[in-house]
């Protein structure tokens, strides 16, 4: 599939949020005319120690931003690959506390921006105020709350706890225009456009109309727009980079981790899989 090329990269109108690493990243890439490559992994998959090694491998591959999934027993928005990753992580003892410890350890050697990809239940159980404070102190930069509608925050002061974490918003292909305006108005850092309805997972073909949808979102916000769901090859990465400010690959990386989890060269396998995807996103 061929996507229409966007005319120019979006110029930011947002103000820095306490020198947040996410905003610094997109400002830098914007000035260089480059697209961000975003990788997703589940915290604690296949276990905490190897997860840190995987994060370091992603760093070596040149990933610009990492989404770290907080393991949850009922991840309804995830396809089977990511569901199994959460199950493996939980079986190895993963928890919210362990997720934050993984981030703390990764921060000893890396300044790569981190977004926590989570459901409401784990952080509600942990305690909103404590979670946002502890996650920020651990080194996280943003949070993507999958099952917390943005307008619910206005009805509950507790749900508005944000601290230094940027609130990343999601827009889907079937989101009405008026709803796009509401969602983007409270967004921070970037907008995550999921290019397909349904759950996460690899696809052989990109969805239709991605470029047009990104253009529509950009009419309502000055935030960068990154695209995910179904992106799994260097060709996909290159095509998305032509029309968006960021490319997200998740399930394909998680599947690579699953395939080689018992191999002695797991970290090299992850690096070898991700590096061509990153390079393709920078080739536009």
> Which are the catalytic amino acids?
67, 78
Alpha carbon distance 106, 114 (integer Å): 10
Q: Compute how many other C-beta atoms are within 10 angstroms of the C-beta atom of residue 219.
A: 10
Euclidean distance between CA atoms 207 and 203, whole angstroms: 9
Crossing angle of helices 251-259 and 266-281, in 10° steps, is 160
Taking the CA atoms of 114, 118, 122 and 128 in sequence, report the sign of the dihedral they define.
positive
Enumerate residues 6+ apart whose C-beta is below 8 A from 65. Answer: 22, 25, 36, 37, 38, 39, 112, 113, 114, 115, 246
Q: Dihedral of the CA atoms 50, 36, 70, 154 (nearest 10)? A: 160
Distances (CA, A) of 8 to 30, 91, 228, 242: 10, 46, 20, 10
Instruction: Report the interhelical angle of 266-281 vs 48-60 (nearest 10°).
Output: 40
> Shortest CA distance to 145 belongs to which of 90, 201, 187, 202?
187
**56, 110 Cβ separation under 8 angstroms:** yes
């Amino acid at each position: 599939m061929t996507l229409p090329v966007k005319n120019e990269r979006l110029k930011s109108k947002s103000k820095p949020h306490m020198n947040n690493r996410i905003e610094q990243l997109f400002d830098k890439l914007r000035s260089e005319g480059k697209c961000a490559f975003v990788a997703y992994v589940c915290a604690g998959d296949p276990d905490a120690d190897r997860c840190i090694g995987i994060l370091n491998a992603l760093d070596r591959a040149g990933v610009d931003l990492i989404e770290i999934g907080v393991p949850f027993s009922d991840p309804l928005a995830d396809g089977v690959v990511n569901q199994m990753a959460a199950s493996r992580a939980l079986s190895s003892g993963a928890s919210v506390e362990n997720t934050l410890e993984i981030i703390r350890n990764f921060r000893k050697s890396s300044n790569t921006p981190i977004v926590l990809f989570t459901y409401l239940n784990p952080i509600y159980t942990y305690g909103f105020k404590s979670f946002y404070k502890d996650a920020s102190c651990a080194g996280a930069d943003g949070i993507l709350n999958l099952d917390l509608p943005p307008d619910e925050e206005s009805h509950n002061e507790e749900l508005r706890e944000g601290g230094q974490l940027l609130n990343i918003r999601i827009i889907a292909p079937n989101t009405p225009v008026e709803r796009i305006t509401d969602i983007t108005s409270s967004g921070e850092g970037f907008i995550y456009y999921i290019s397909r309805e349904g759950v996460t997972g690899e696809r052989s073909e990109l969805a239709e109309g991605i470029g047009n949808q990104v253009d529509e979102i950009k009419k309502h916000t000055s935030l960068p727009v990154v695209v995910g769901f179904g992106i799994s090859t260097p060709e996909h990465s290159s095509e998305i980079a032509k029309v968006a400010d960021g490319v997200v690959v998740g399930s394909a990386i998680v599947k690579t981790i699953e395939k080689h989890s018992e191999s002695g060269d797991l970290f090299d396998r992850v690096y070898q899989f991700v590096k061509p995807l990153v390079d393709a996103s920078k080739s536009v």
